[in-house]
Chains A and B, each alone.
Chain A
């Protein structure tokens, strides 16, 4: 094992870490640029003044409050594209703790795409005004408040985007980590930034409450995870994933240290993917945070949890041809999670809470698929198909889950969006946005030929083809057959039934958008870049469901998962 000290920054390493380098540069730029000014330093005893650029009165360009947003957009765009290009590069180990390969790049592309959308959408969610008036005494109280809030929004532009880039850095490093310690550190980097982002709108009580809840529950979960990690260290003497895997394979019986360690890490990651019963903070956090951030939590942050689960559960603890320790527990968690999520979503009157619970339900579907991988009856090929399905689902979730949150963001720009009433009559006010929203919820429900159907079909197919062959084939009685089939088959049935259940609340959104009287007859704000992101999500939701784009994406994911499973 090479240690961190041996990390050298040669050009190959730099190119394989290009997205991270870009984000680092972006981070420095976003700190520096708004501080550039015409300050000069007078060389003592002379009258020569040397410009030092930092400080003084700001240049017009660097003083522009829209600057941080632009830098962040460009950073994420470049990082996203470079990560996309790097997917097909050959794997490369960096410093013994990172492994840049197709698998990690698939996920970092996913995260950076989500962050790019969030960054673009925030242009309108936290607007920056170039000519913000300064309140004076002649203004009324309301006018002063309004002007101050504009000034505050201008002032905190930089903070927001710095945090966002930190999230991106943490997440994309996390995908590459082959060492548990590195992984936890990266997850914490991303998580701590998201805690602040959730509470970013501290002027609203909901924002503060959401941030506090999310932070407390999240940090407890992290603490448990870290404690589990330390138990694993005690047991094996290393946190390297390969070493842990070998120790696990060589383990005679079940070592309590190892079992508790894995169980505790499961709790931490369960919180990240918002699996029941660790999901309780999620609906509050999602509904209190600004919608782009909620979308980020529901897509990228969740996917990060799944990467961790892939690494820890599938790589370390899946024995060859035998049932993994956690299989039954994960299966039960999965069913509870999806059912709880859907039932809670049915009764939600707040679209953000509804989407949060639907996100819990989706976590359940994916956990069910992972449980089958751990069952020991799936061959490696079948496991590849299942994990491909989960990864593909996470990837397209960025499109339609985040897209739905972006539509809510659009409502938030006019101060609405926290009640289903605000969606009423959206079809009349803005047919294109309402149509996109309808597409998103249909895809969430898994209606063909949208991408949500494709991924769900692949998962169900994976579960059924693994388990259904176990049923005896010569029975004519359905009851006998049902008894003889492996219990895993019922995970597929649970997914199907839950999807049917979820149709009710998804279609309800379409119903109120097109049939109820609008709350106001005003058309929605123009918000061009937000609108553009929504339409991009909508078009991709369709394209990733059928046709060459979906095929390309699926091939990409399949190839990456294939090499991940065979490493």
Chain B
């Protein structure tokens, strides 16, 4: 039966959030109930964090991941959902998914904390809680049907978060967000269906179609897809779905709009976890199922990665809106993940995994800072406010830490990921490494300028320039709950910069196992040097 911890952390948030969303409607009274829902949401999300932390300290942390075939941990006995077409409730975690699961459970309470006093809190916090269940569901499900259902479910709370609490252009942004990602996932669904229709016959398990959505069966379906051209086609279909989520140039245009309009907590989750769904799905499904296509399309991956990296960074330099700049920097950093995978080195893949995790801590910090600017200074224009270190010392400190972490300062989490990806890239492609390295200089340029123009650079050391949007009011520093959230994120950034091996070990073990089991053979047959 369903009593394993992964099922609990997936379903509890969703069920609790549904109750919290529906109960105030029915009782129709209940100011107090509405206020309580915020506390309940926070309590549940903290409980989930406790569970995942205990899982890490207990079983998962001590597994030897280098044996890729040993499979998943904390799996349950598959519970039939629609046995006629081979759909089961099957969950599990491994070194690829577990850091993401932990990250999700960590970011949810923090984003709730940062927006503790959000308007319509009785809807806001339950929606974030629902987001938690949907995101964890994507990472834990080992059944493609369930995976896809959760994948689509993540759209729903995020759509409403942008739509109800967003900025002025929220309608346009939420619509664009929905249409882009939905269309991409439908394309991905076609790919999934082709894989499904070629899974080996499992009619004995009660499936009347003779096929199964079980992920391990689906991945083995590759051998049954008759033509190499069709395999490449399916791989491309999957790539479109995942790359749009990630997002990679040229399908990234929904991201800046969604980010700029989304509320702070929405942006934090969007950048922190939702973008990683793309990279996760790509590794979990597209690479694992079609290693030969992946090897054959390495040039495409490099191109997409480079384009995202360079274009994202280049556009950042021209941004005048703080949040838009941070959004494009996400596009740029996600490009590094494709580059890491394209190296086909254990180090590169592990670096990509660590990038997913590190960016998942740093980018929420960046968006929390940007959100605090919007909240207290009512503007995001770079240059309209100067020298605010004087007015908001805490905010400035967080901004500095976040910006430094994101541009890859050593001893902070981002550095570990970047440097390993670049080393692996050099090992695989030699001097081509200069292009991403030089791009990191551009990254430094835009981060440093924006920081300098915002928190320093004023004529009078005791009086900064305040934006017009304040209408002469005295600005305040961030509130306690914003501060608390940012301190936690900042501390983790430093922690994982100094002690990356907490997750690095399992990631690198898994990467070498994964490479050995799936990709090496493909590389040999394609004549690519491992």
Interface residue? B58 (CB, 8 A): no
- The residue of chain B having its C-beta at the shortest distance from the C-beta of A463 within the complex is B197
Map CB proximity to A onto B166-183 as digits: 1 under 8 Å, 0 otherwise.
000001000100010011
Chain A: minimal CB distance from B202 (Å): 13
Query: Quick check: B229 and A476 within 8 Å, CB to CB?
Result: yes
Query: Quick check: B80 and A479 within 8 Å, CB to CB?
Result: no
Map CB proximity to B onto A437-475 as digits: 1 under 8 Å, 0 otherwise.
000000000011100001001101110110010011111
- How far apart sit A475 and B228, CA to CA, in the bound complex (Å)? 7
Interface residue? B11 (CB, 8 A): no
Query: Quick check: B82 and A460 within 8 Å, CB to CB?
Result: no
Chain B: minimal CB distance from A298 (Å): 24
Interface residue? B489 (CB, 8 A): no
Query: Quick check: A551 and B84 within 8 Å, CB to CB?
Result: yes
Indicate which residue in A388, A472, A551 contacts B226 across the interface (CB closer than 8 Å).
Answer: A472
- How far apart sit A464 and B193, CA to CA, in the bound complex (Å)? 11
Interface residue? B81 (CB, 8 A): yes
Q: Which of B63-71, B203-211, B347-355, B413-421 contacts A (4 or more CB under 8 A)?
A: B203-211
Interface residue? B36 (CB, 8 A): no
Interface residue? B145 (CB, 8 A): yes
Map CB proximity to B onto A475-503 as digits: 1 under 8 Å, 0 otherwise.
11111110000000000000010001001
Interface residue? A358 (CB, 8 A): no
Interface size in chain B (residues, C-beta < 8 A): 35
Chain A residues with CB below 8 A from B152, complex form: 447-448
Query: Quick check: B197 and A465 within 8 Å, CB to CB?
Result: yes
Q: A454-B82, A465-B197, A503-B186 are in contact. Are A448 and B229 (CB under 8 A)?
A: no
Q: A447-B152, A460-B197, A461-B211 are in contact. Are A481 and B230 (CB under 8 A)?
A: yes
Chain B residues with CB below 8 A from A385, complex form: 208-209
Q: Which of A349-364 contact B (CB under 8 A)?
A: none
Interface residue? B470 (CB, 8 A): no
Q: A448-B145, A448-B152, A550-B82 are in contact. Are A461 and B197 (CB under 8 A)?
A: yes
Query: Quick check: B175 and A511 within 8 Å, CB to CB?
Result: yes
- How far apart sit A535 and B415, CA to CA, in the bound complex (Å)? 53
Q: Is the interface of A mostly helix, strand, loop or mixed?
A: helix
Indicate which residue in B80, B83, B84, B229 contacts A477 across the interface (CB closer than 8 Å).
Answer: B229
Chain B: minimal CB distance from A79 (Å): 28
Chain A residues with CB below 8 A from B182, complex form: 507
Q: For the side of the interface on A, what is the size category?
A: 35 or more
- How far apart sit A554 and B229, CA to CA, in the bound complex (Å)? 35
- How far apart sit A448 and B149, CA to CA, in the bound complex (Å)? 6
Chain B: minimal CB distance from A33 (Å): 38
Chain A: minimal CB distance from B440 (Å): 39
- The residue of chain B having its C-beta at the shortest distance from the C-beta of A480 within the complex is B227
- The residue of chain A having its C-beta at the shortest distance from the C-beta of B149 within the complex is A449
Q: Which of B348-389 contact A (CB under 8 A)?
A: none
Chain A: minimal CB distance from B60 (Å): 29
Q: A457-B85, A546-B81 are in contact. Are A476 and B228 (CB under 8 A)?
A: yes
Query: Quick check: A515 and B233 within 8 Å, CB to CB?
Result: no
Interface residue? B87 (CB, 8 A): yes
- The residue of chain A having its C-beta at the shortest distance from the C-beta of B198 within the complex is A468
- What are 26 A-B contacts with C-beta separation under 8 Å? A447-B186, A448-B145, A454-B85, A457-B85, A457-B209, A458-B85, A458-B209, A460-B197, A464-B197, A465-B211, A474-B226, A475-B226, A477-B227, A477-B229, A478-B228, A481-B227, A496-B190, A500-B190, A503-B186, A514-B163, A515-B175, A546-B82, A546-B149, A550-B84, A551-B82, A551-B84
Q: Which residues of A contact B (CB under 8 A)?
A: 385, 388, 447-449, 454, 457-458, 460-462, 464-465, 468, 471-481, 496, 500, 503, 507, 511, 514-515, 546-547, 550-551, 554-555, 558
For the complex of A and B, 8 pairs with smallest distance between CB atoms: A478-B229, A481-B227, A473-B226, A476-B228, A449-B149, A461-B209, A464-B197, A554-B84
